[in-house]
Structure 1
Amino acid sequence: MRKLSGIFLVGLCVGAIGAVAVTIGHGAVQAPQAIAVTPVVTTMSESASPSPEPTPTPTPTPTPKETPKSEPPAVDAAELDRLVGSGEVSAVVFDRQLGKTTVSLHADRGYTSASLVKLLIALAVLERGGPVADVQRMLSRSDDDLASRFWSAYGGPAIVTGWAKRIGLTGTRAPADPGRWGDTRITAKDVVKIYQYVLAHGPAAIMAALRAATERGSDGFRQYFGIPDAAGGRAWAVKQGWSCCRPTRMLHTSGVVGDYIVVVLSEHPASVDYATASKRVTAVVSALLG
């Protein structure tokens, strides 16, 4: 601070002393500010001036907190088994953001694929430059006639064995009867791997067709059971499968719901009709998604 001058009057022992007002600014929490000093001189001929008010320091804007990612609820394996009654069920949920499986129930149990093998048929046909529109119709409407035509023209059982090796499917087997593509053997864990491959490397036409799945397949069967009925407004892309009765009834739902790959495979006694089995599979998916 600089010195202040004293002013003395004759006969009086009165000294006028300059007052110094010091204003200190408050720094933000993260980075303290330098102290600012403002000198003020007062004489007898001046009236006292108020000290200057501190300059307000802006309040730091809070850093917004990230909203925690919602995850599917914890699932009781016994409860999922109970939901299919006398049938069998396998379920796998894979979180694409976390890169890990969050639900795995009987993931290695084998089932007859029904129409889920059409995912492999689509990969085989499109890789060799086959008709995109027909492949998409085969997937979105689950068209069996197109699947049979492609199966014969693009390698039959070799489609399954070749793509199983390429993707790393450990529980997938070509059908014993080479003419029956729907009898291909699959597991829930392998179906998740197929989706991972399609999402990362497959032609975009495949996922576009799964997002456009129609409510009824080409045979009139209602294929919105499972994921579509349980998604609750969330965006989905699905490939469904159904078959009967050699000797049991198969009903599968698979696809992508938001950030999750969801696969539910189920097998029911032939005495359980499709309507009942469909409701049971939807209940399983509802339990998985919450």
Structure 2
Amino acid sequence: MKPLAPLLVTGPLVVAALAAPSAAAHAAASKPPRVPAGTTAAWVVFDRQAGKFVATRNAHRKYRSASVVKILIAIDYLERRKSVPAADAKLLRIMLRSSDDDAASTFWDRGGKGQIIVRTARKLGLSDTTPPPAAKPGFWGYTSLSAYDVVRTYRYLLDRADAKVRDTILGHLRRSTPCGTDGFDQTFGIPDGVPRPWAVKQGWSGFGTTPPVRCDAKAAAAAISLVAQRAAGSGVPDYGRPVLHTTGLAGKGDRFVMAVLTAHPAGSTWSGSVKRITTLTRDLYRSVS
């Protein structure tokens, strides 16, 4: 197994220079994305081919996880069992592919709620990942995490997890559906801004329980949860602000491990937020690829 990189990222990281036709072209390609005013963004990109981080911003800043935590829920469930009943296999499929919230809540309750996060954070070495506030034990989407910890989680799946766990989780994420079961379009960020192949897990929170336009799977596919649980108490990162996250693997052979986490101004629309994170993700990928 390949060792993971040191836990802490301290200081700026330099984007590795790939062969470029000119210094000007390289400078343009490696220019980091511009974050719009009022938006808080964090990202980490690890290049598995180069064996190093190639982009980072606010790597250890904590965000509420929204549905990104479903990866940790799945890891915890699978690693504590020798076999998976057919009914649970179905729940895992819709939770990971279509970000189904009821499926996540089923596993969350069975696994001891916040203890799932305590166990996985300890095992994977996630220094920024903590359970929801004690006053909100049932709100799995209030788990706090960072872009660095998300990338570390994917690297754990790729390099250290048992093959059955890795193949089950990443197999589903490679088949992420255009629409979440709650009707939100989940093709923002990596799916819309990065060329295939990729595997993704998205997260969104704070946009209400009903999408402004219900997702059309055919239209979303051609264009290429948390059911918006609102932050309602202290201890929840980005209280009162909608968050939108795109995370996953990109490039041939899963070359890049990416996490882009964003918090948007209070009252932001879904469409405006989606445009912002997709532009950030597209520009980020272009700067490292």
Task: Provide the TM-score with structure 1 as the length reference.
Answer: 0.72
RMSD between aligned residues: 1.7
Q: Does 1:241 align with 2:195?
A: no
Instruction: Give the stretch that moved more between structures: 176-185 or 131-140.
Output: 131-140
Task: Flag the structure with more relative contact order, 1 or 2, with Cα contacts below 8 A and sequence separation at least 6.
Answer: 2
Deviation at 1:179, TM superposition (A): 1.0
Give structure 1 stretches of 5+ with no counterpart.
1-67
2:59 is matched with which residue? Answer: 107
Residue matched to 1:121:
73
Please tell me whether residue 81 in structure 1 is matched to residue 40 in structure 2. Answer: no
Structure 1 consecutive aligned stretches of length 4 or more whose deviation exceeds 4 Å = 68-72
Partner of 1:168: 125
Q: How many residues align?
A: 218
Deviation at 1:137, TM superposition (A): 1.5
Residue 141 (structure 2) aligns with: 182
Residue of 161, 170, 178 corresponding to 1:215: 178
Tell me by how many angstroms 1:69 deviates: 7.1
CA contact (8 A) 1:73 1:289 kept: no
Aligned to 2:178, what secondary structure does the other structure show? coil
The percentage of aligned residue pairs carrying the same residue is: 40
Which structure would you say has the larger Rg? 1
State the SS of the aligned residue for 1:89: strand
Aligned to 2:245: 252
Higher percent of residues as helix: 2
Matched residue type, 1:205: T
Please tell me whether the aligned partners of residues 108 and 189 of structure 1 are also in contact (alpha carbons under 8 angstroms): yes
* Structure 2: runs of 5+ lacking an equivalent: 1-17, 21-25, 207-229, 232-239
Q: Among 26, 44, 47, which residue is 1:95 paired with?
A: 47
Residues 1:152 and 2:109 are matched in the alignment: yes
Question: Within 2, Cα distance between the matches of 1:163 and 1:80?
Answer: 33
Displacement of 1:114 in angstroms is: 0.2
Match of 2:193 in 1: 230
